[in-house]
Amino acid sequence: MRNEASEHSYSNVGSALLVLICWAIGRTDCSIFWILALLGLVLLRSHLLRQRSRRIRAHQVTALQEKEVIVTQLKDLPTWVQFPDVERVEWINRVIAQTWPGIANFAKDFLKENIEPQIKDNLPSVFRSFCFESIDIGDIPVRVGGIKVYAENVGRDRIVMDMDVAYAGDCSLSVRVGCFRAGVEQLQFQGKLRCILRPLISKPPWFGGFVIFFLNEPAFDFDLTGAGELVEMPGLMKAMRSVISSQLANICVLPNEIVIPVVPETEMCDLTMSEPQGVVRVGVIAATNLENKDSFLKGKSDPYVRITVGGQIYQTKTVENNLNPVWNEEFDAIVDQADGQYLGVELYDEDPGSRDEFLGNLDLDMDSIRNKGYISDWYVLNAVKHGNVNLSVHWMNLSSDASLLDDVQNLPHSVSSNGPRNHALLMIYVDCIKNLPSVRKSFEPSPFILLTFGNEQRKTGVKMKTNNPIFQQRFVFLVKNVHHDILKLESKDKTSGRSLGEVAIPVRLLKEETNMELKQQIWHLALGPHLSPITMTLKLRAFQPVG
């Protein structure tokens, strides 16, 4: 009822605004064509909003366990109906519903304390005053559509299960940016969550910990209401969607994981440092017969390709004014779980100043790519009238054999390149630091670690007011030159921005170690004469071509 009342209120305001615009057009003796065009756009928008609203209400009714939805809307059938190996788990949904008030309070605090600062840091400077004014998570809980437990191709030391998670609830958020206030409503969220229980042990609770992550980037959507709906700030909407997507990926989309130990004796390093299954080398060659999204402007589409593997996103250059573009670009993506992950390909027409227009997509099953080792073909684009894209994809395994690092010329490639290609994978587990210096006397720092490898930078979370931070985080980098690349780590204070010590580690050191790894070794962060021991695990894995 709350959403319906607000929608009715905004509809009245929108109608009044429309009448005012039509009066202004008539007053200035403009052609009636502009009034008809405006009315047509408004009617089209209203139709799309009504369709979307009906779809959201259908999901909400499903969350409330209304049986008639399953009968009337076949396209929204849950996975336990579509696939026989997916089990219905209504008991879990009842548990979630019973504990939802507590979960909602946790989510409210998490949004305010964690998400809001991250959004502020990533928004353009004009939007840095962003904040949540009010947060109401609502009464409709998250729903688990089904669970699949894997019995084949799974190690004996673990249990692997997939859960289809969906949310289409009645939450309502109020946000403020400067003097601009808007509501965030009709939030939708859907994705496949994998949970791994490992290692299996011989005493209760029978496993040492569990690892949670989304196999692929979850789908989400939301609406700005109130002033946000009327003003329709495209820059803010685009920035918010981009930030939310990137933050989700950084937290819990492969290769990023949430690791929770259950038994105190469980080594966090063993839980966290699971090795990826391989790497795919994706060649984006060309496309043909793409749709023309700029015909109104007497031009042609300006297409580019967006490649996704889990939380990893790669983008080609934009080819301007061309419906048959040629890119000849290559990207390497890490694959942690081939079973369940896919290679996502999306084409867009770049439109600076507005939302880029969709030109088609396709998904390639990662397990199929691994089994074949190499695929190359022209693929028909989905969700558009016409269009094809040419892709070449190689699968490469990972090996601890150091001799492979001297044989990089035999690695497969899809396009010619004069520069060095990736030929190895570096995994880092940052455990802890001891005895960091204080920024000022008797004031403890709030440290984080900045990792720099080539042109890439990553950073750990911030640990508040401590000289002995515990991070327990995993990072992965692609290596172009084992003999010259250097991993640099610098601890910094969040409040002052001052350095607390740094260290540089040549990657070539790992090549001489057994299995090319150093487990829980101590290095020292140096700040003048002060040395702070840092404990880390490093692993180097060489690319190994298939076949």
As a whole number of angstroms, the distance between CA 149 and CA 446 comes to 41
pLDDT mean over 467-479: 95
The per-residue pLDDT for 354 is 73
- Per-residue pLDDT band at 280 (split at 50, 70, 90): very high
**The domain made up of 278-399 is a member of CATH 2.60.40.150:** yes
Please tell me which residue, 38 or 177, carries the higher pLDDT value: 177
* 203, 265 Cβ separation under 8 angstroms: no
Alpha helices per DSSP H over 387-540: 508-511
Residue 376 structure tokens: 């190359």
Return the amino acid letter for 454: G
Residue 7 pLDDT > 70, yes or no?
no
Pairing of strands 456-459, 447-453: antiparallel
As a whole number of angstroms, the distance between CA 412 and CA 410 comes to 6
* 283, 329 Cβ separation under 8 angstroms: yes
On the question of a cis peptide bond just before residue 234, with omega within 30 degrees of 0, the verdict is no
The per-residue pLDDT for 35 is 63
pLDDT digits (tens, 9 = 90+) for 307-347: 999 989 999 999 999 999 999 999 999 999 998 899 999 99
The tally of CA atoms less than 13 A away on the side-chain side of residue 360 is 21
Same CATH topology for 278-399 and 424-545? yes
CA angle 460, 461, 463 (to 5 degrees): 120
* 349, 359 Cβ separation under 8 angstroms: yes
From 78-92, 264-278, 417-431, 464-478, the region with the lowest mean pLDDT: 78-92
Structural domain boundaries in the chain: 2-63, 78-266, 278-399, 424-545
* 325, 389 Cβ separation under 8 angstroms: no
Q: Which of 521, 497, 517 is nearest to 509 (CA)?
A: 517
Q: Alpha carbon of 244 to those of 119, 148, 190, 340, 424: distances in Å?
A: 8, 28, 14, 23, 31
What is the assigned CATH class of domain 424-545? Answer: mainly beta
Residue 260 structure tokens: 């929770």
* 451, 247 Cβ separation under 8 angstroms: no
Residue 364 pLDDT > 60, yes or no?
yes
- The 3-state DSSP composition of the chain as helix, strand, coil percent (nearest 5) reads 30, 40, 30
The per-residue pLDDT for 5 is 45
b/e per residue 322-332 (b: at least 16 CB within 10 A): ebebebebbbb
Please tell me which residue, 66 or 413, carries the higher pLDDT value: 413
Please tell me which residue, 487 or 440, carries the higher pLDDT value: 487
If one counts every other C-beta atom within 10 angstroms of the C-beta of residue 254, the result is 23
As a whole number of angstroms, the distance between CA 506 and CA 6 comes to 59
Residue 248 structure tokens: 């989700």
The residues near 99 (Cβ < 8 Å, ≥ 6 apart) are none
Diameter over CA atoms, the chain: 84
- Per-residue pLDDT band at 234 (split at 50, 70, 90): low
The per-residue pLDDT for 230 is 46
Residue 116 pLDDT > 60, yes or no?
yes
> C-alpha 354: how far from its chain's center?
22
Please tell me which residue, 447 or 68, carries the higher pLDDT value: 447
Could you write out the DSSP letters of every residue in 225-277?
A: ETHHHHH--HHHHHHHHHHHHHHHHHHHBTT--EEEE-STTS-HHHHH-PPPS
* 251, 373 Cβ separation under 8 angstroms: no
The per-residue pLDDT for 60 is 55
Q: Give the chain's mean pLDDT.
A: 84
The residues near 352 (Cβ < 8 Å, ≥ 6 apart) are none
